[in-house]
Amino acid sequence: MWTIRTRDPAMPDAPDHCYMLPSITFENLAVEYGLDPDDIDELLRVAILQLEIPAKMMTSSGAARDLLRGGRPVTLDNAESTAQAREAHLKRIALVEADHVRIAWPKPGMRVLARTLDADVSSETEVDPYQRLEALKATYRPDRKRMGEKRMALSTVLGREV
């Protein structure tokens, strides 16, 4: 389980917003959209930004014209192919990234105070977010067998090859 912490720079005094992101999300994205399962940086970027896709982008009136199919937004379930689903999803991600959310990846050597939860007490300690993220990314290993099983199950549900 990954915790993604977001902050609105326009509201520096507001509390951070945290998302709990199951690590299986990365395999799911790779299967659903045909993304490279070994590219953890791209999978993480898509996983974070898809949480910010505005609901209006997913309506007939709010979606960009080239993201419509039969008057409905192209999604995984109505796309004619994985390539079409991927293209539509990544276009929405690009729109979010351009107009709504910027990801500020940690830089090497940066130090911040972070709350740590100990068995006895909650305290703050100085951490290097870059090192923490790199260590976490190094633990990700896609399970090819499980991905193959998901691909077969999803193909059955969608009625097309994934």
Instruction: Please tell me the predicted confidence (pLDDT) of residue 89.
Output: 95
What's the whole-number mean pLDDT along residues 51-57?
A: 86
Instruction: Please tell me the predicted confidence (pLDDT) of residue 87.
Output: 95
Domain spans of the chain? 2-151
CA 37 distance to own-chain centroid: 13
pLDDT over threshold 80, residue 127: no
Do residues 67 and 91 make contact, with C-beta atoms less than 8 angstroms apart? yes
Q: Band the pLDDT of 64: cuts 50, 70, 90.
A: confident
pLDDT over threshold 70, residue 19: yes
CA 30 distance to own-chain centroid: 11
Instruction: Please tell me the predicted confidence (pLDDT) of residue 122.
Output: 64
Q: Band the pLDDT of 116: cuts 50, 70, 90.
A: low
Mean of per-residue pLDDT scores for the chain: 86
Cβ atoms within 10 Å, residue 30: 21
Global confidence as pTM: 0.83
